[in-house]
Structure 1
Amino acid sequence: MEEIFQLLFTELQRATRATAENCREVAERISNEVARICNESKRIQASGDVDTWANSLARHRLQQCLHYYQLGSHQGRVDLHSTLSAIIYRYITPLGSPQNYQARLGLIEDFLQGFYAEALNAFRREAQLDARYRPQSLLDLAEYMAFTERYGKRRIPLPGNRSQQLIILRAQTFSSSQPPETSVDMEQAAEGSSADADSNWSDGAMQQVREIMVANEPEPLEASLRDTVIKELMAYLEQHQQNDCADYFALRLQDLSTNEIEEILNITPRERDYLQQRFKYHLIRFALSHRWELVHQWLEADLEKNLGLTPQQWQNFQTKISAEQLKLLQLKQQSVSNVEIARALNCTVNQVEKRWFKLLEQAWEIRNRSLSGSGASKDE
């Protein structure tokens, strides 16, 4: 283990700006953890190659720690929060409204606050640290975040030769214990001031970790156009009973790979492809019909900006559409209501909406072809 300690100590000094003493402390804790695992694991002891196992475990922990260190305190927290949220997403279900996206996010936030507290206590216990220990440096925080990820992913043996990740078991217990009348007060959760949370978050050490790990108060939805689009699209999908599309969209927002999405939703690649196509269909309906003004404003492609087309594209676009379509476009630019447009064009309001959808679709295709060529698309 002395060789492993020297390896860890040297790499931490080389890859971080932490003090030598800080690097020494972290290297000692990691090497002690590796030694404990190797001594307690019957499989490792029976392998006849304990040194190789120890080296592999140490390097894995080192890379995890450096990963969070390089991300920094803020982005590291975001990365850990996203990783754990993706694991438990389908296991946190609000009673009474299992498909309510906002309620589910609220419960996930509430659950993870308690889990971060549990992980810190486990870290103190397993590293034989003082009960008042708290991360002081960026390297300490990175070590703690790496431990929290591993702690959540630990496999817990279950009857019937089965096992499950610890954080999933915790999430299932948490979700089943929520009474139907429970509502999550996000302001209270962010402050850690609920009656149950006081014992976990009241002391100074937990307060500091909470501030670093979970006190990232989001901007009000109204202050962020992107968040408003997301909220409106989620509501649209739920209104049209496309709850699986809403789940897919929520996971896409976390920038997960297709394999991760398939695993979380428990679907095959073919089912995921079908779901993706169905989501795209509803996304287009939402973007070009249901809330086209909002979406185009977010994309900086509203009527004031010629639907996102360049001056030349805008000129060509107007020359290629019919006289009736051009009149419709001009009336829209004048903010004329659909009822008045219907009178002017001698058609129904429904026909106006369909014709406008077609016009937006044509402009969308031109714009997307241009963006695809430049490699910069914001549409999905």
Structure 2
Amino acid sequence: MDSLSQLFYQDLKNGTGAPEAGCQAMAQRLANEVQRICNESDRIQSSGDVEAWAKSLGKHRLDQCFKYYNLGSRQGRVELHSTLSAIVYRYITPPQVQTSYPARLALIEDFLQGFYVEALNAFRRENQLGDRYQPRTLLELAEFMAFSERYGKRRIPLPGRRSQQLIILRAQTFSKQQPPEVAIDIEQATDYGGDGDDVRPAASHQRVREEMIAQADDLPENSLRGRVVEELLAYLKERNQDECADYFTLRLLDLPTHEIEALLGLTPRQRDYLQQRFKYHLLRFALSHHWELVHEWLEAGLETNLGLTAQQWQQLQDSLNAKQARLLSLKQQGIPDGEAAKILGITATQFQKQWTKLLEQAWEIRNV
């Protein structure tokens, strides 16, 4: 082993519990990769310190590998899937087709399965491995997952001194190739409700939503959370708030602010404006259009006094005027809004505005 691969080997031995042979093989592959990059880069060659560049590139790749190694096989896959899904989300839309949120996630799943195959072939080719090579140990899997992330983020030169990430170019090509019927087919597949032993649709259309938001168990509250997510995205789409929908999706993935800005191509100021616009629509969604669903998810429905403690509930009661108190009483009795509006002698629109205002008061008291 040369000095560079020996350095990487020591880091791997210290940072993982992997067998010595596996660490040596990976260290050599890593050394070969960074040396090739350094040899092909005019900027690095003219820097006067090629060795420092090689060590820096190698450390960056080792850190990526350690991240996936420490996450483990399952969570590492979830992390990689979420990272790549966030990058391609806004580009996976068949032309002239208005896909639903589940259908788009199913398309992303199909696209990424093909992309992983491409990444594996590239990994074999660039490291001179056989056609049958498969990562089998945790260290090898971590190495491949780190490579897949870098491979997808490679900048590809385009005309006009522009460049684009490789995975985005692949996603755009994939999306253009989808026939209009594919969205309907995928929606039917994702809605499949057959017996547990029949896995024909599930085998090709796994439920990506749980992976994207790292939901490991199919608990009732998670299912309700999924309904809130879908309804909110549909609400935003109906109002042509695609940027807010993209922002919300990236927030679900728990990405840092600077990554969200980079993925959406926004400056910090533009991202802040988008965030405020999203919050406005979120409040409108939560306090008027779908208040029952949101409050059920928050366990803050009428049956639980809007999620208020006894003291907070009394505080709300004391803040209401006579008409508001009557309105709240009618809602608690389960009287339909139209009938309740007639009892109060107001229009349906006025009734809705008064109810939204009351919910806002409860929201403020609950979140003090």
1:296 Cα deviation (Å)? 0.5
Q: Which runs of 5+ in 2 are unaligned?
A: 191-199, 206-210
What letter is aligned with 1:326? A
* Equivalent position of 2:147 in the other structure: 147
Residue 70 of structure 1 aligns with an amino acid whose one-letter code is: N
Query: In the alignment, is the contact (CA less than 8 A) between 2:110 and 2:204 conserved in 1?
Result: no
27-36 or 142-151, larger mean C-alpha shift: 27-36
Q: d(CA) in 2 for partners of 1:336 and 1:59? A: 65
Match of 1:191 in 2: 203
- Aligned in 2, Cα 1:269/1:51: closer, same or farther, shift over 3 Å? closer
Equivalent residue number for residue 201 of structure 1: none
Secondary structure at the residue paired with 1:353?
A: helix
1:236-275 C-alpha deviation (Å, 9 max, x unpaired)? 1222232222222222222233333333333443333332
Q: How many aligned positions are there?
A: 349
1:35 aligned onto 2:35 = yes
Preserved CA contact (<8 Å) 2:324 2:358: yes
Q: Is 1:132 matched with 2:132?
A: yes
Larger mean Cα displacement after TM superposition, 249-258 or 120-129: 249-258
CA distance in 2, matches of 1:295, 1:368: 15
Contact 1:325 1:355 in 2 (8 A): yes
Shift of 1:86: 2.4
Please give the TM-score of this superposition, normalised by the length of structure 1.
0.83
| Offset, 1:284 | 1.0
CA contact (8 A) 2:94 2:179 kept: no
Give, in whole Å, the separation in 2 of the partners of 1:166 and 1:220.
Answer: 37
Q: Aligned-pair distance for 1:174? A: 1.5
Query: Residues 226 and 298 of structure 1 are in contact (CA less than 8 Å); yes or no, is this contact kept in structure 2?
Result: yes
Q: Aligned partners of 2:245 and 2:321: how far apart in 1?
A: 37
1:37/1:100 Cα in 2 relative to 1: closer, same or farther (>3 Å)? Answer: same
Amino acid at match of 1:235: A
- Residue 32 of structure 1, CA deviation: 2.2
Partner Cα separation in structure 2 for residue 168 and residue 239 of structure 1: 26
Shift of 1:122: 0.9
Counterpart for residue 73 of structure 1: 73
Counterpart CA distance in 1 for 2:261 and 2:57 is: 28
Q: What residue is the counterpart of 1:244 in the other structure?
A: 243
Deviations 1:152-199 (A, max 9, x none): 111223334333221122122222222333336356786249xxxxxx
Instruction: Give 1:144 shift.
Output: 0.5
Is residue 300 of structure 2 the alignment partner of residue 312 of structure 1? Answer: no
Q: Distance in 2 between matches of 1:171 and 1:189?
A: 23
Q: What is the CA distance between 1:107 and its match in structure 2?
A: 2.3
Distance 1:155 1:90 in 2: 18
Partner of 2:46, secondary structure, is: helix
For residues 171 and 148 of structure 1, what CA distance do their matches in structure 2 show?
15
Q: Which residue of 1 aligns with 2:344?
A: 345
8 Å contact kept, 1:94–1:100:
no
| Mapping of residues 1-380 of structure 1, within 5 Å | 2-97=2-97, 100-183=100-183, 185=186, 191-192=203-204, 224-369=223-368
Q: Report the Cα distance in structure 2 between the residues aligned to 1:350 and 1:144, rounded to whole angstroms.
A: 57
Q: Which amino acid aligns with 2:64?
A: Q
Deviation of 1:282 after TM superposition, in Å, equals: 1.5
Secondary structure (helix, strand or coil) at the match of 1:360 reads helix
Provide the secondary structure at the position in 1 that maps to 2:367: helix
Q: How far apart are residue 223 of structure 1 and its match?
A: 6.7
Which amino acid counterpart does residue 296 of structure 1 have in structure 2? H
Preserved CA contact (<8 Å) 1:110 1:189: no
Q: Distance in 2 between matches of 1:221 and 1:157?
A: 47
Shift of the alpha carbon at 1:35?
A: 2.5
Name the amino acid aligned to 1:122: A
Q: CA deviation at 1:48?
A: 3.0
Considering only aligned residues, what root-mean-square deviation do their CA atoms show, in Å? Answer: 2.8
Aligned partner of 2:196 in structure 1 is none
Q: SS at 2:130's partner residue?
A: coil
> How far apart, in 2, do the equivalents of 1:276 and 1:368 lie?
20
CA contact (8 A) 1:94 1:107 kept: no
Give the gaps of 5 or more residues in structure 1.
194-211, 370-380
- Report % sequence identity: 63
Q: If the length of structure 2 is used for normalisation, what is the TM-score?
A: 0.85
Residue 80 of structure 2 aligns with an amino acid whose one-letter code is L
Q: How has the CA–CA distance of structure 1 residues 242 and 44 changed in structure 2, closer, same or farther, with 3 Å as cutoff?
A: closer
**Superposed displacement of residue 92, structure 1:** 2.3
Could you say if the C-alpha distance between residues 163 and 180 of structure 1 is closer, same or farther in structure 2, counting changes exceeding 3 Å?
A: same
- Classify 1:218/1:124 alpha carbon distance in 2 versus 1 (closer, same or farther; 3 Å): farther
Q: Compare 178-187 and 281-290 and name the one that shifted more.
A: 178-187
